Structure 1
Amino acid sequence: MSKLLVAYFSAEGTTRKLAEKLAKGINADLFEIKPEMPYTKEDLNWQDSKSRSSVEMNDRGCRPAIHSKVEDMSGYKTVFVGFPIWWYREPSVIDTFMEAYDFCGKTVIPFATSGGSGLGGTAANMAALTSGARIADGKRFTANATEKELLDWAAEWI
């Protein structure tokens, strides 16, 4: 098994494209973090305070269930975790993922997609959900990030 994993959540396919480029370019395994209940367009309407994503992001304890699990997380030394930025941080389903595994001794590198919002407190949030992991500050990419841009950044960590 590869010592590198790219795990990602993608609500609309943007993060998926970057995660696939990254995994291929660094020869990493790829794992999609799929919520048990997929998000609909209405769920993602951040302008509706009653939409599912808005409700989840306003409840810091919310942990949406995940459809499947990484079979053997112990085989990975470095885990890239990708997601879209929601409300200046990682979506709640990423919090579920972080709490589901033992990341002790691993390096976790967040990467996010956003048209303009930064990662905010993402690294600190992810660190609080794990014990003994090294959590990098991570990087935000736009939807049109090139493979070269991704791989140059990833080279810092592998």
Structure 2
Amino acid sequence: MKNKISRRQFLQVAGASAAALLLASCSGNSASSVSSSSVAPSAASSVAASSEAASSAAASSEATSTVTTTGKTLVVYFSATGTTEGVAQTIADTVGADLFEVVPSDPYTSDDLTWTNNDSRVSREHNDEGLRAVALESTDVDGWDDYDTVFIGYPIWWGIAAWPMSSFVAANDFSGKNVVPFCTSVSSGIGQSGDLLAELADAGTWLDGQRFSRGSSESDIASWIAGLNL
């Protein structure tokens, strides 16, 4: 015996079928329907990613804004390719410090920095210590005596601080200052570079330094500074 359906059930089924036909005619074909449904997860993911990025940026900004130092702070840096400059700028922004760039009177070119070439400038200077006394445009910092904390930044050359920084350190009196070395390199650590500069200065309280790579983030730098307890 066949099952019977009521008039009401018949109208519900008919209405659903009509709605399905109308939806199919509006969408055009099944492919466009699949395409439109696949956009939704992508959009949702994009919104979620944007929200996560915004939260991360806010957290980084909050961490940066809470880092402070006692007294007036200066960031001195020598940058051969721009990497050290980027870290120095981030440090200055993080603690509200002034910046001073160490600039050789005879700037280094990209050819000068080709350390794999024995005839390049840095190779010749490395092989002959007498050539490392690099003349600088200036070693005088306005208000030098007013700074309580000085960050000293440089790239690592052959395991030590790039020698233009040595020229700056030798020309200034670090008495009464907290000095924080930092360096940049592809793979080498900071090694004894900070200790050697401290010996050259023979004054000031020199803290342990830190090495940064090109990919170091602002939050990495801010976390390091927060741990210094300056």
The TM-score bracket by the shorter chain reads: over 0.9
Helix, strand or coil at the partner of 1:96: helix
> Which residue matches 1:18?
87
- Which of 94, 100, 105 is matched with 2:165 structurally? 94
Determine the C-alpha separation between the residues in 1 that align with 2:113 and 2:202. 31
Helix, strand or coil at the partner of 2:180: strand
Determine the C-alpha separation between the residues in 2 that align with 1:42 and 1:154. 34
Q: CA RMSD in A?
A: 1.4
Determine the C-alpha separation between the residues in 1 that align with 2:165 and 2:189. 16
How far apart are 1:59 and its partner, in Å? 3.5
> Which residue matches 1:28?
97
Quick check: 1:57–1:92 contact (8 Å CA) kept in 2?
A: no
Structure having the larger proportion of residues in helix: 2
> Which residue matches 1:78?
149
Q: For this pair of structures, how many residues does the alignment match? A: 157
Determine the C-alpha separation between the residues in 2 that align with 1:130 and 1:116. 26
Q: Which runs of 5+ in 1 are unaligned?
A: none
Quick check: 1:57–1:91 contact (8 Å CA) kept in 2?
A: no
How far apart are 1:151 and its partner, in Å? 1.3
**Normalising by the residue count of structure 1, what TM-score does the alignment of the two structures yield?**
0.93
How far apart are 1:72 and its partner, in Å? 2.4
Identity of matched residues, %: 42
Determine the C-alpha separation between the residues in 2 that align with 1:83 and 1:60. 18
Give structure 1 regions of 4+ aligned residues with deviation exceeding 4 angstroms: none
> Which residue matches 1:122?
193
> Which residue matches 1:103?
174
Determine the C-alpha separation between the residues in 2 that align with 1:63 and 1:112. 20
Amino acid of the structure 2 residue aligned with 1:58? N
After superposition, the Cα gap between the structure-2 partners of 1:114 and 1:73, relative to the gap in structure 1 and judged at 3 Å, is same
> Which residue matches 2:106?
37
How far apart are 1:134 and its partner, in Å? 1.5
Amino acid of the structure 1 residue aligned with 2:152? V
Considering Cα pairs closer than 8 Å and 6+ residues apart, tell me whether 1 or 2 has the greater RCO: 1
Helix, strand or coil at the partner of 2:160: coil
